[in-house]
Amino acid sequence: MKALWKEIAGRGLALKETPIPRVGDDEALIKVKVASICGTDLHIYVWNDWAKGRIKPPIIAGHEFAGTVVEVGENVRRVKKGDFVSAETHIYCGHCFQCLIGHPEICENLKILGVDINGAFAEYVAVPEKVLWVNSPTIKEEFASIQEPLGNAVDTVLAEDIAGKTVLLTGAGPIGLLGVGVARAFGATKIIVSDLSDYRLDIAKKMGADVVVNAKSVDVKKIVLDETHGHGVDVGLEFSGSAHALNDLLKSVRPGGRVSLLGLFDNSVSIDFNDDVIFKKIRIYGITGRRIFETWNIVSNLLNSGRLDVSPVITHKFPLEEFGKGMELMETQMSGKVLLIP
Ligand SMILES: [Zn+2]
Ligand SMILES: [Zn+2]
């Protein structure tokens, strides 16, 4: 089969002919129909500091996908040949303390598909049954392939109630854009989106943003105050991983408001805890992974019902061989979600 390998500790990925993986007793073999490039894959491709510390080449990259089960291991019960599946990418152990108390998404022995074990940028991938999610056969393959990041967006937006709330969302990358759609679908009343890319802000409008702000040229906090009768927004959603955006966000949320943080920062960041958090009584949530499988249920309900149309976020599709084009588009921020077809 064709597979996209991280072969060396340096920039790039290599497309190589590779044996089809053998299925373990607790695994299913999946023929990948569509895979989607995540920010994590881009980090692995460009070989940033995070990748240097975390990835041990050689490994097949990629973790967001949809495909069909072609073979199952001896102990597999829940999925069967022919099922149309996607996967929770956080492969939890099931026996550590966090798993025991119902938080497998922050398992102490977490292994991530395409990061710690061979991933989905390939014609076939072997995945443990326990993380497989069986999709409705009516859902479009392209949409099914982005449920993992959509789940991040759902958990970020829905860490608390969003209905009737005013929102500032910083960072209109693919997950942020999905976040705009989720906030819209769940009844946010005003959604303000900031980013540095006009291309992405245009997509934010299509996803339901009421106001878009290019933070390069305008003062985000001033716009937010103008748009909220001087109060600030009820909810701040941080998807960018920019320290500047985080500070804009904390200063734009009203006292008593809520903030969810998903974007990962390159370095430690400095914020004014006294004035921007404590005296404002702001509640801050760190978000990682997805609730397994509660979030997946919400995600598939959103897609199956048509309540959320993710098509504006999916901007490009390439055969697996042309992965370089997709990575370049992601790097220059001239894309939403980029899909790869093995
Ligand atoms: Zn991802
Ligand atoms: Zn565990």
**Residue 68 alpha carbon to ligand 2 centre in Å:** 27
- Ligand 1 center–CA 213 separation, angstroms: 26
Q: Which residues crowd ion ligand 1, with CB under 5 Å?
A: 38, 64, 149
CA of 178 to the centre of ligand 2 (A): 28
pLDDT tens by residue, 148-180: 999 999 999 999 999 999 999 999 999 999 999
In contact, 85 and 99? CB cutoff 8 Å: no
Q: How far apart are CA 184 and CA 172, in angstroms?
A: 14
Over residues 320-340, the mean pLDDT reads 96
Q: What is the mean pLDDT of the chain?
A: 97
What distance in angstroms lies between residue 185's CA and the mean position of ligand 2's atoms?
A: 33
Shared fold status for 2-146+310-341 and 153-286: no
The answer to whether the beta carbons of residues 192 and 227 sit under 8 Å apart is yes
Question: If we measure between CA atoms, which residue out of 320, 296, 335 comes closest to residue 139?
Answer: 296
Q: How far is the CA of 131 from the centre of ligand 2 (A)?
A: 13
- Residue 17, CA distances (Å) to 2, 4, 5, 11, 341 in order: 5, 9, 10, 20, 16
**CATH 2.30.30.60 is held by the domain 153-286:** no
The verdict on whether 18 is a catalytic residue reads: no
- DSSP characters over 240-258: S--HHHHHHHHHHEEEEEE
- How high is the pLDDT of residue 292? 97
Name the superfamily (CATH) of residues 2-146+310-341: Medium-chain alcohol dehydrogenases, catalytic domain (3.90.180.10)
Question: Could you say which of 18, 43, 189, 295 is catalytic?
Answer: 43
Q: Are 241 and 268 in contact (CB under 8 A)?
A: no
- Any idea how long the chain is? 342
CA nearest neighbour of 114 among 154, 78, 60, 66: 60
Of residues 40, 89, 166, 170, which has the active-site annotation? Answer: 40
Which residue from 71, 256, 238, 264 is spatially nearest to 171, judged by alpha carbons?
Answer: 238
Residue ranges of the domains in the chain? 2-146+310-341, 153-286
The dihedral built from the CA positions of residue 289, 240, 310 and 209, taken in this order, carries a sign that is positive
The per-residue pLDDT for range 216-271, each reduced to its tens digit, is 999 999 999 999 999 999 999 999 999 999 999 999 999 999 999 999 998 999 99
Q: Is 138 a catalytic residue?
A: no
